[in-house]
Amino acid sequence: ESISGNLDARPRGVETVLLVDDEVALLELAAESLQMLGYRVITAANGELALSRLAEESAIDLLFSDVVMPGGINGFELAEQAVVLLPGLKVLVTSGYTEKAVIRNGQARFNANMLSKPYTQVELAYRMREALDDK
């Protein structure tokens, strides 16, 4: 049976998500989707901003970041630094083109939680819960 038309069937959450994407339109769209699912959303347009948000706000449950971003820090590097700042942090990364992101030692673990762009709100809802519930 199709759940695409039924918003109530989608897994929801109340956790705080730090959303990172350098494309403002995508950032706003994803933020809106997550808020509709019940999440509290903090946004950042690049890795540096994301790290300062993480330093300010210790109640972030999950980092949802684009992998390929201009300006030094890519999503994998951000994830690596983020879990040092907040050891219990869950990570979900997204990318439209994975082959452009170089995965260095120790970053492969984040690749397991990769959501390919473009994704649907249903996929986002499920992947979000999967990442958050991952013990």
Q: What is the 3-state secondary structure (H, E, C) of 2-49?
A: CCCCCHHHCCCCCCEEEEECCCHHHHHHHHHHHHHCCCEEEEECCHHH
Q: How far apart are the first and last CA of the chain?
A: 29
Residue 126 has pLDDT above 70, yes or no: yes
Q: What is the mean pLDDT of residues 54-60?
A: 93
Tokens 């939680």 label which residue? Answer: 113
Task: Tell me if 53 sits within 8 A of 65, measured CB to CB.
Answer: no
The tokens of 67 are what?
A: 């992998």
More confident residue, 97 or 82: 82
Which amino acid is present at 2?
A: S
Give the per-residue pLDDT at 55: 94
For residue 38, the SS3 value is coil
- If you average pLDDT over residues 88-106, what whole number do you get? 78
Neighbour count for residue 108 (Cβ, 10 Å): 10
Mean pLDDT, residues 80-91 taken together = 95
Percent of the chain at pLDDT > 70 equals: 89
What global pTM score does this model have? Answer: 0.88
3-state secondary structure at position 51: helix
Least confident piece of the model among 48-57, 75-84, 92-101, 124-133: 92-101
pLDDT average, residue stretch 90-94: 95
pLDDT for 25: 94
User: What is the residue whose two structure tokens read 């990570």?
Assistant: 91
